[in-house]
Structure 1
């Protein structure tokens, strides 16, 4: 059972990153994105006001720049990183970016062609500081903000194993959510119980080698209970479930940062004929999407077919979002099943498939399944029942 990404794969990612830099005639690079730093180094951290960066010099040596409080943590990844640099504190008597300037100059960045995903560190935690081009005189600065996300689009065998493990624990969390979904009980009580029990089972089963690097197992409604389920991204309201409610769920787990997505439309005890009709349309639209996921085709072609189904059944006005998105280290990654995204599907891409219908006064109708693009089609990674009969919550 795989529970992490190997150092060998981390080094392979760094090699591919360097090859891409060379293709763009760049000498060195700086990455500030926390998720891309994690992808390239295995170093997982919580970004704060204290700047953190990954950089590669012209000799292909890799560096982490971290606050002193992260230094020992970062040094645990010395097998994948050549050098770890640290600074005392933010904002400090000497600003962290001044320390960063010194480290970049020492690494030979001055006067070079530099790729950067951003010209400076950015944080919602109160950070203020100068941009790189104000500190370092380079021959050229070139944006590479899309370079690592593009590398992340095609999942390796190791990544796919972790996503499949995420699916298993999301499945358990959802099973418990459905078990506890009964009229007269609040959504928060149900989700807390299902999430806690599935997490405890996961910890006991996977043991000390399990590192979430994100959310542990969870299942919830996200406020999509009853009529409020007609809001695609509602927030929890502590609503009490009642007979006949439409429920839109979500369940997943992070395995070394890798995620899956399982969503289902359920009903408390019974479903009306109107609810059944909309459920069937949603189900059919998802089937249409599955049938058109094939390598070599643009992602937009899937959305075209789903939108054709909605139009033929006169329900286009009940739809509010595209059919799905890539998933991996983030719940929402690029590319997207959208009319404007013409990225070609390739084996190894992992997506959610989640066309939705939203009817004011009745509720929302959305399943989401995580799928893998294969050499000749797709493989369903989530496996919770999708039929209506299986999704009636008993009393």
Structure 2
């Protein structure tokens, strides 16, 4: 039994909850080291206080689950099976008659919830998210090592992108150069859809790259990340293509100052809200507060956006082992946008910046 399962089982005992049913791909991966994208098929796992846990997945994925190290029961179903009947038998064989079951309320759909109510007609359903988030919040040394490697590859991807900037080359062409190069380095998947945004598009926080051409005098914004061994990186850098205006320079320097101030504030005990304020106050004082429309950052790990939110009003304190992003931005229509994002690891007495690509304003000639 791995330590993560043991921790969850102990929590079930403490809370007097007979079973937990996890259904999201990230949480199943966290508990089993088995990654599966089930699409419309069922993926899940039951964890009990004492009894052997059960993994439920398509039968064609069983071999991969075993190869990932899962040593306990697997209910593998074909496309003609009804997995809930197989689950009901396994629950009955274990003698489980639950009065309380922990579920992922934010993930479980209504159809599957109704199946659970048939399995456990007398059960109250409570949230499993809080405990699993608590477990995933603090990264161990193995996780940190993978996250460092993912950050290093993200740095390289930005370097490739910056070197690919050319007059009249489109955002999608630069994006393709980046991702092709990453494939040659063994990267199977990005953390999310890569963003390469030039000129007016850089003022769209979540813009979609397209046929827009690179022009001198523009900002070019890169927001990307890679997945290595199931863990994500996430970096944003903005560069100048040729000479830019005084206002563009002022915007860039303001974002950089805010980002540096927030990073400097990162140490155990400081609240997430205070980190947000450290950056936001710099941007507001420079007159750009209305042009910074999003939170400062988010947790990072198996999911590219995970608990916690680095946002105003969050009084949760930083703890050693947390990993999250710091990514202030200013987005001014018809002028351009700047975002600077790093992945931050909280150490015993401060922080480590995992992403290393330079943040000072760079000019591509």
TM-score, scaled relative to structure 1: 0.86
Q: Give, in whole Å, the separation in 1 of the partners of 2:106 and 2:170.
A: 47
Establish whether residue 18 from structure 1 lines up as the match of residue 9 from structure 2.
yes
The 5-angstrom pairing of residues 111-122 of structure 1 reads 111-118=98-105, 121-122=108-109
Judge conservation of contact 1:173–1:217 (CA < 8 Å) in 2: no
Describe the SS at the equivalent of 2:309: strand
Shift of 1:169: 1.0
Establish whether residue 304 from structure 1 lines up as the match of residue 277 from structure 2.
yes
Q: Give, in whole Å, the separation in 1 of the partners of 2:352 and 2:297.
A: 15
- Residues 333-364 of structure 1: CA deviation (Å, up to 9, x unaligned): 11121113221100110111101111010111
For 2:97, the equivalent position in structure 1 comes to 110
Shift of 1:144: 1.3
For 1:51, the equivalent position in structure 2 comes to 42
- Residues 215-274 of structure 1: CA deviation (Å, up to 9, x unaligned): 25999434x211111110011222111111111112322111111111111111222211
Q: Structure 1 pair 346/119, CA: closer, same or farther in 2 (3 Å)?
A: closer
Q: Give, in whole Å, the separation in 1 of the partners of 2:203 and 2:10.
A: 47
Equivalent position to 1:387, from 330, 355, 360: 360
For 1:206, the equivalent position in structure 2 comes to none
Shift of 1:128: 7.3
For 1:147, the equivalent position in structure 2 comes to 131
Equivalent position to 2:181, from 168, 190, 197: 197
Establish whether residue 87 from structure 1 lines up as the match of residue 77 from structure 2.
yes
Describe the SS at the equivalent of 1:146: helix
Q: Any stretches of 5+ residues in structure 2 without a counterpart?
A: none
- Residues 189-215 of structure 1: CA deviation (Å, up to 9, x unaligned): 111112211331x23xxxxxxxx6x62
Q: Give, in whole Å, the separation in 2 of the partners of 1:256 and 1:269.
A: 38
Describe the SS at the equivalent of 2:21: strand
Shift of 1:279: 0.3
Shift of 1:119: 9.9
Establish whether residue 61 from structure 1 lines up as the match of residue 52 from structure 2.
yes
Describe the SS at the equivalent of 2:314: coil
Judge conservation of contact 1:121–1:131 (CA < 8 Å) in 2: no
Equivalent position to 1:256, from 200, 204, 229: 229
For 1:343, the equivalent position in structure 2 comes to 316
TM-score, scaled relative to structure 2: 0.93
Equivalent position to 1:30, from 18, 21, 28: 21
Establish whether residue 167 from structure 1 lines up as the match of residue 167 from structure 2.
no
Q: Give, in whole Å, the separation in 2 of the partners of 1:331 and 1:157.
A: 19
Equivalent position to 1:132, from 106, 112, 116: 116
Q: Structure 1 pair 26/107, CA: closer, same or farther in 2 (3 Å)?
A: same
* More deviation, 20-29/225-234: 20-29
- Residues 107-155 of structure 1: CA deviation (Å, up to 9, x unaligned): 33224432222498549xxx87833013323444322123212211111
- Residues 162-197 of structure 1: CA deviation (Å, up to 9, x unaligned): 000001111111111100111111111111112211
Q: Give, in whole Å, the separation in 2 of the partners of 1:196 and 1:187.
A: 14
Q: Give, in whole Å, the separation in 1 of the partners of 2:96 and 2:103.
A: 12
Q: Structure 1 pair 218/64, CA: closer, same or farther in 2 (3 Å)?
A: closer
Q: Any stretches of 5+ residues in structure 1 without a counterpart?
A: 1-9, 204-211
